[in-house]
């Protein structure tokens, strides 16, 4: 089970993520037509063999793989030679190599599919209609309790074997109870069943278990595995609009669907198209249908990708993948870049279905894509709300147009009246000397000044706000953060999570994450803005400045940086640049004349709006070239006494010499507020000196230069850049919200604003759910409803012919799917859930069998294609699938059909029986199975008396109070709710108790991996929560005063294992308990030991 499941996951990852990347970036030089350096990367043999430089892969060891060092560009070989791979692309290759570099190839003996549909393809077993073969005759008919038994027994007898003897009644009730509810039977339930020898006792037990609410929680979790369910995609994003915060609504809908035995056909349809094709138009059905489509939204396509168009294609690929694999057991995603290597699915087939989801919206692609959230109302009410929202959007556009018209008018004035505005600003400055161009001047004073100088008040406000930004000192990082990294590390941040700066006062390297060298400082910017360290000069004179920045966190794409000299309202860039991940800038050396109060600032910015792993070490050394020959550095002045805070004095007692600030207005190196207005520098200097005559002369001179014919003026001259800034859409009036409309425009603005407010009042607040929405993403080439074009090699920039939306040709039958309106999801949902569909009933019947018997009849439950395994009992699979459809697609009916069989009642058999059929392909015995993490944890909670059986609602948080990027908080796993209701985080799917082989929420998990590792044993032995549950169980037993030690030992065995202890177990227990004087401690340790057993 483990190896098959893991290999299937690896193949899926390779086909969906790795092969398309290799095809796009590597095959042109290392493919079938060309092998530069002797390296070929389109076949496994070529990749492992390597080329002239040696093997390109060392499976499981990315750091030792030449391919990885080449794409990371950390060695002599740097690939691709021209355009490096992005950080996300590199991470795909690293993960692939680390996971064993799984590569589906002809090792399995499968011929590559040559294209086109052949007769052999049409005859392939899973594409055939369901066979109506009756149960076969058998010799030992008395053994059979059901037609199912005859299919199984016929194979057993043909192999010359016999079925295993029946399991005892205690084993049977424990098996059935754990299978259906995931909880252990109580001693009372066990005793009642063991004593009930009337006919139909087991059938009544099964019905009782199916009626329990715990059934839905157990089987809902099985379903969530195959739809990559999570409560959060990344702990760092929890609560953000691009995270799946409302996924719990979908989880609850799934649990309710199983508990109410919702028809599986309807279950399928609602998840694909329930948002606009609910069962009925009632509020309940409308809301349920909406929530059901959350399955399409909770996908995994990566995040933070600045390439919105690529993200759009990845979102659609995720949806095609989950629909085709989960419901039909085939991997259509493998045909995204090329025709399927083994199955008869062409690239055209892929884009037939992709077109349906390109015509559906579940997110707005882009960096940190916002997910679709829909109000929990009826379809008709949603339609009404959408019309209102559409009108509100049109009003917003009209208001923007009115404002833009006014801006365009003012742009004509701003050049011809530039000197008036400059003199008005000078007047404001003189009247309010303590204000930096209006920072604390009220609107009335600005308006009065504007009237006096005959300029527009709104535009004067824009001028003053803009000039104020030239003196951008940033916001002090003043909030201390505790417990980051280790003792001796001090951290400050803004009111938000980032930016932050860290001071390592220790003599050792500290990991926070990232690494801070001994006795040094490091900063981390925000996703969209900078962070800086600044030195304020305590004297006037000349200084020598040495600076360097170094990446301190492996990963990401490096940072931008700048060394600047601020003096008055001016700022000069001394040196700037970028550094790549794991790199440092050269040491820069500058000699600067400073005046007391000037600042030397070392600024760090996110590179290309990517702030992942951007922790950066700062080194800044400032030396006085004359006078007292003093020197300053953060290591000397700050590290020795960080508790003084921010700002910080220097070693000479000068207050506020050092500061760390959030430079919120700085997004990149080109966003320096002074860069485009250098022509104003002389005027600003005159303002700073208070020289009225110079201020007026320079204002007039600027006015003359601005209105002079362009003639011989060069574009990069200061006046040309200032003119561009005054008139461009991203210049002076880019933020025009303060500009004043007048006359008819103002009246129209007021009318529209009032209408917008009335419309908004009609949108009552309601709950929201993650849900799909009809129509492609507005503003893209897929807006509305349209067929998709084939993406050649999966690249959206290389488009082929458009293909009509539909389904794969091999499955379409004589009548192709016809989409008359909308996206086509409703038609797709009805087609997949057809009674005569060859795959849907087979796949689900096989999944149910798998969870009752440990293996499916098809042992590759997510692959019913040629790469998968054929059914061990094909006639039985078809018989079950037909019964499934005939029952009205009732899952509970299938439980009864499978469990009320002699096959299900078998014992696990003897060693001889195991040797005869080690993989139990004949099902001549029951397979011993490892309990899943949910069952293990819920059992411990149940027997200890601590379990909280509340259902529904948000999951128990893993980081109470929220995840912190700056404070190292431990995840909490102590909730006593069932494990289903503990937060599942995609990036942390194996933390805490989930190390016990929980489902990997990054992918579709058709069958859980089973492993045996040291961390699992250590969890059970040392985890404080497990130990506390052992203590609760011990206390529960000791609270029964009437029991003696032997009776308590029997009671704990009944609770844990649904059986009495054997004589040797009883004696061992008595001996252990008597060896410890402290009875409470003895029982706690004894209970803990039993909890850790493998039964």
What does the H/E/C string look like for 893-947?
Answer: HHHHHHHCCCCCCECCCCHHHHHHCCCCCCCCCCCCCCCCHHHHHHHHHHHCCCC
Token pair, residue 107, equals 């090792």
- Would you place residue 432 in the very low, low, confident or very high pLDDT band (cuts 50, 70, 90)? confident
CA distance 440 to 425: 14
Q: What is the structure's pLDDT at 486?
A: 59
Residues 563 and 573: beta-carbon distance below 8 Å: yes
pLDDT digits (tens, 9 = 90+) for 765-817: 788 999 999 999 888 888 899 999 999 888 888 899 999 999 999 999 777 78
Q: 579, 546 in Cβ contact below 8 A?
A: no
Closest to 842 in 3D by CA, of 803, 866, 805, 875: 875
Report the number of secondary-structure helices (H) and strands (E) in the chain. 40, 24
Residue with tokens 């995603």: 333
DSSP notation for 1011-1023 = ---HHHHHHHHH-
Q: Specify the 3-state DSSP secondary structure of 218.
A: helix
Enter the tokens of residue 569. Answer: 């309202």
Query: Per residue in 435-480, pLDDT tens?
Result: 556 556 777 888 899 899 998 888 888 887 777 666 566 788 888 7
818 near 803, Cβ under 8 Å? no
Interatomic CA distance for residues 336 and 290, integer angstroms: 28
- Say which range, 303-307, 548-552, 815-819, has the weakest mean pLDDT: 303-307
Sheet holding 559-567, edge to edge: 475-476, 658-663, 530-536, 599-606, 559-567, 570-579
Output b/e per residue, 961-974; b: 16+ Cβ within 10 A: eebbbbbbeeebbe
**pLDDT for 569:** 60
| Spatial CB neighbours of 176, under 8 Å, sequence gap ≥ 6 | 202, 205, 206, 209, 899
Helices 379-416 & 457-469 angle (0-180, nearest 10): 90
As a whole number of angstroms, the distance between CA 704 and CA 737 comes to 29
Measured in whole angstroms, the distance separating CA 726 from the mean position of its chain's CA atoms is 42
pLDDT band of residue 1095 (cuts 50, 70, 90) is: confident
Give every CB contact of residue 863 below 8 A, 6+ residues apart in sequence: 8, 325, 329, 330, 331
What are the CA-CA distances from residue 110 to residues 341, 865, 990 (Å)?
10, 11, 34
Q: For the chain, first and last CA: distance in Å?
A: 19
Given the structure tokens 């499976």, which residue do they identify? 59
- What is the DSSP code (8-state) at residue 35? B
Residue 919 pLDDT: 93
- Highest averaged pLDDT of the listed ranges 63-77, 761-775, 1026-1040: 1026-1040
pLDDT score at 76: 75
Whole-angstrom distance, CA of residue 985 vs CA of residue 232: 5
Task: Supply 567's token pair.
Answer: 């003096």
Region of residue 514 (left: phi > 0; alpha: psi -120 to 50; beta: else): left
* More confident call, 113 vs 545: 545
Taking CA atoms, 314 is separated from 301, 305, 916, in Å, by: 6, 10, 47
DSSP string, 983-995: PPBGGGTTSGGGG
363 secondary structure, DSSP code: E
Strands 500-504 and 510-511: unpaired
Q: Two tokens at 409? A: 């008018």
Count CB neighbours of 647 within 10 A.
16
Torsion of CA 78, 83, 84, 87, to 10 degrees: -170
Per-residue pLDDT of 499-536, as tens digits, reads 778 888 888 888 776 788 889 999 888 877 889 999 99
How does DSSP classify residue 246? T
Give me the phi and psi of 682, to 5 degrees please: -60, -40
Q: What is the pLDDT of residue 722?
A: 84
Cα–Cα distance for residue pair 275/709, rounded to 1 Å = 61
User: Is the CB of residue 776 less than 8 Å from the CB of residue 84?
Assistant: no
Which of 368-382, 469-483, 629-643, 1055-1069 is the most confident on average?
1055-1069
Contact in structure between 514 and 613 (CB atoms under 8 Å) = yes
Q: Which residue has the tokens 């018989």?
A: 879
Q: Cβ of 980: how many Cβ atoms within 10 Å? A: 21
Separation in Å, CA 773 to CA 287, 369, 823, 948: 13, 15, 10, 36
Rounded distance between C-alpha atoms, residue 523 and residue 425, angstroms: 37
pLDDT of residue 323 exceeding 70: yes
pTM of the model: 0.73
Question: Residue 190 has what pLDDT?
Answer: 97
Q: What are phi and psi of 937, to 5 degrees?
A: -65, -45
Each residue's pLDDT tens digit, 1034-1093:
999 999 988 888 999 999 999 999 999 999 999 999 999 999 999 999 999 999 999 999
From CA 129, how far away is CA 839, in angstroms rounded? 9
The two structure tokens encoding residue 367: 């960096």
Crossing angle of helices 283-292 and 264-273, rounded to 10° = 80
Which residue, among 475, 506, 513, has the nearest Cα to 490 in the 3D structure?
506
Report residue 845 as tokens.
Answer: 């019947």
pLDDT at 279: 81
For residue 999, give the nearest of 251, 189, 117 by alpha carbon.
Answer: 251
In the predicted structure, residue 106 carries a pLDDT above the cut 50: no
Cα-flanking dihedrals φ and ψ of residue 1063, to 5°? -60, -45
| pLDDT score recorded for residue 240 | 82
The strand pair at 500-504 and 541-551 is best described as: unpaired
717: which residues sit within 8 A by CB, 6+ positions away? none
Q: Does the N-terminal peptide bond of residue 499 adopt cis geometry, omega within 30 degrees of 0?
A: yes
Q: For tokens 């085709």, what's the residue?
A: 324
| Under 8 Å between Cβ of 519 and 650 | no
pLDDT band at 80 (very low <50, low <70, confident <90, very high): confident
Are 774 and 822 in contact, with CB atoms under 8 Å apart?
yes
Measured CA angle at 333 (ends 327, 336), to 5 deg: 150
3-state secondary structure of 286: helix
> What distance in Å separates the CA atoms of residue 289 and residue 276, rounded to the nearest whole number?
8
Q: Which residue has the higher pLDDT, 394 or 779?
A: 394
Q: Residue 182: pLDDT above 80? A: yes
Longest dimension (CA), the chain: 116
Place of tokens 């076969």: 136
pLDDT at residue 5, as a whole number: 46
What confidence tens digit (pLDDT) does each residue in 591-602 have? 999 988 889 999
Quick one: pLDDT at residue 7? 52
* Distance of alpha carbon 205 from alpha carbon 213, whole angstroms: 15
User: For residue 2, what pLDDT is reported?
Assistant: 40
d(CA 503, CA 75): 31
Spatial contact of 582 and 74, defined as CB atoms under 8 Å apart: yes
């Amino acid at each position: 089970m483990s190896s098959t499941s893991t290999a299937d996951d690896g193949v899926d990852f390779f086909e969906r993520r790795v092969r398309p990347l290799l095809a796009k970036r590597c095959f042109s030089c290392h493919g079938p037509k060309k092998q530069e350096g002797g390296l070929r990367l389109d076949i496994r043999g070529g990749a492992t063999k390597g080329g002239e430089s040696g093997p390109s892969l060392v499976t499981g060891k990315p750091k030792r793989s030449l391919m990885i060092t080449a794409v990371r560009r950390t060695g002599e070989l740097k690939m691709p030679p021209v355009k490096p791979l992005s950080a996300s692309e590199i991470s795909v290759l690293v993960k692939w190599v680390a996971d064993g570099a799984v590569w589906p190839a002809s090792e399995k003996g499968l011929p590559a599919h040559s294209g086109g549909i052949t007769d052999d393809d049409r005859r392939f077993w899973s594409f055939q209609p369901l066979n109506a073969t009756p149960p076969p005759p058998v010799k030992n008919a008395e053994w059979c309790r059901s037609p199912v038994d005859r299919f199984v027994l016929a194979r057993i007898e043909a192999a010359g074997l016999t079925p295993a003897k029946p399991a005892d009644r205690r084993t049977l009730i424990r098996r059935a109870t754990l299978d259906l509810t995931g909880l252990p039977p109580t001693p009372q339930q066990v005793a009642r069943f063991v004593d009930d020898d009337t006919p139909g006792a087991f059938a009544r037990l099964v019905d009782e278990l199916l009626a329990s609410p715990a059934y839905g929680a157990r089987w809902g979790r099985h379903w969530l595995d195959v739809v990559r369910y999570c409560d959060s995609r990344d702990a760092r994003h929890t609560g953000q609009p691009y995270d799946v915060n409302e996924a719990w609504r979908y989880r609850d809908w799934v649990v309710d669907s199983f508990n109410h035995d919702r028809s599986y056909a309807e279950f399928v349809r609602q998840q694909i198209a329930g948002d606009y094709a609910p069962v009925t138009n009632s509020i309940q059905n409308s809301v349920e249908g909406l929530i059901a489509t959350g399955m399409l939204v909770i996908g995994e396509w990566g995040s933070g990708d600045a390439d919105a168009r690529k993200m759009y294609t990845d979102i659609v690929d995720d949806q095609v993948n989950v629909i085709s694999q989960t419901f039909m057991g085939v991997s259509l995603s493998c045909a995204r870049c090329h025709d399927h290597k083994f199955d008869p699915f062409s690239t055209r087939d892929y884009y037939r279905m992709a077109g349906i989801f390109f015509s559906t919206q579940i997110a707005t692609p882009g960096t940190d894509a916002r997910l679709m959230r829909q109000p929990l109302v009826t379809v008709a009410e949603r339609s009404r709300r959408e019309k209102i929202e559409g009108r509100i959007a049109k009003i917003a556009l009209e208001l923007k147009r009115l404002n833009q018209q006014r801006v365009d008018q003012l742009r004509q004035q701003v050049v011809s009246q530039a000197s008036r505005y400059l003199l008005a600003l000078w007047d404001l400055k003189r009247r309010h000397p303590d204000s930096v161009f209006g920072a604390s001047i009220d609107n009335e004073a600005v308006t009065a000044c504007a009237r006096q100088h005959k300029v527009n008040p709104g535009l004067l406000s824009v001028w003053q706000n803009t000039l104020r930004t030239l003196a951008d000192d940033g916001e002090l990082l003043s909030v201390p953060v505790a417990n980051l990294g280790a003792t001796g590390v001090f951290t400050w941040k803004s009111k938000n999570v980032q930016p932050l700066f860290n001071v390592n006062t220790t003599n050792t390297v500290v990991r926070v994450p990232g690494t801070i060298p001994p006795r040094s400082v490091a900063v981390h910017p925000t996703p969209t803005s900078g962070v800086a360290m600044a030195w304020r000069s305590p004297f006037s004179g000349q200084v020598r400045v040495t600076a360097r920045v170094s990446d301190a966190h492996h990963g990401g794409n490096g940072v931008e940086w700048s060394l600047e000299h601020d003096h008055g309202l001016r700022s000069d860039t001394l040196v700037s640049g970028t550094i790549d991940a794991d790199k440092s800038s050269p040491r820069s050396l500058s000699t600067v004349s400073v005046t007391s109060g000037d600042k030397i600032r070392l600024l760090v910015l996110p590179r290309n709006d990517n702030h992942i792993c951007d922790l950066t070490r700062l080194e800044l050394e400032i030396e006085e070239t004359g006078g007292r020959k003093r020197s300053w550095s953060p290591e000397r002045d700050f590290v020795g006494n960080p508790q003084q805070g921010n700002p910080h004095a220097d070693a000479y007692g000068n207050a506020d010499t050092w500061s760390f600030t959030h430079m919120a207005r700085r997004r990149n190196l080109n966003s320096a507020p002074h860069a485009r207005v250098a022509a104003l520098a002389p005027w600003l200097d005159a303002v700073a000196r208070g020289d009225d005559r110079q201020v007026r002369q320079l204002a007039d001179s600027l006015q003359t230069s601005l209105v002079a014919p362009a003639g011989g003026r060069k574009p990069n001259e200061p006046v040309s850049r200032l003119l561009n800034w005054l008139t461009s859409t991203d210049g002076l009036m880019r933020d025009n919200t303060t500009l004043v409309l007048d006359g008819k425009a103002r009246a129209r603005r007021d009318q529209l604003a009032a209408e917008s407010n009335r419309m908004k009042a009609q949108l009552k607040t309601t709950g929201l759910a993650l849900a799909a929405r009809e129509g492609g993403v507005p503003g893209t080439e897929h807006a509305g409803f349209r067929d998709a074009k084939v993406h050649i090699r999966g690249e959206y920039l290389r488009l082929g012919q458009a293909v009509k939306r539909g389904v794969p040709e091999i499955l379409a039958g004589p009548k192709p799917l016809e989409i008359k309106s909308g996206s086509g999801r409703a038609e797709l949902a009805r087609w997949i859930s057809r009674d005569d569909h060859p795959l849907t009933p087979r796949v689900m019947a096989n999944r149910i069998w798998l969870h009752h018997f440990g293996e499916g009849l098809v042992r590759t439950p997510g692959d019913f294609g040629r790469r998968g395994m054929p059914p061990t009992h094909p006639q039985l699979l078809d018989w079950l699938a037909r019964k499934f459809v005939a029952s009205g697609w009732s899952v509970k009916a299938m439980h009864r059909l499978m469990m009320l069989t002699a096959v299900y009642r078998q014992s696990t058999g003897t060693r001889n029986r195991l040797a005869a059929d080690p993989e139990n392909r004949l099902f001549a015995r029951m397979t011993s199975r490892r309990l899943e993490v949910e069952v293990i944890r819920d059992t411990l909670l149940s027997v200890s008396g601590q379990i909280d059986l509340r259902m529904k609602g948000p999951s128990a948080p893993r980081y109470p109070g929220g995840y912190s990027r700056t404070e190292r908080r431990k995840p909490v796993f102590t909730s006593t709710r069932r494990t289903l209701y503990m937060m599942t985080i995609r990036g942390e799917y194996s933390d805490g108790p989930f190390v016990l082989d929980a489902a990997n929420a990054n992918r579709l998990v058709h069958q859980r991996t089973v492993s045996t590792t040291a961390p699992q044993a250590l969890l059970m032995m040392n985890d404080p929560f497990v130990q506390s549950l052992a203590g609760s169980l011990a206390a529960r037993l000791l609270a029964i005063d009437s029991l003696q030690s032997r009776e308590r030992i029997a009671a704990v065995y009944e609770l844990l294992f649904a059986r009495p202890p054997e004589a040797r177990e009883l004696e061992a227990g008595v001996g252990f308990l008597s060896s410890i004087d402290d009875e409470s401690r003895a029982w706690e340790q004894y209970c803990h030991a039993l909890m850790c057993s493998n039964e």
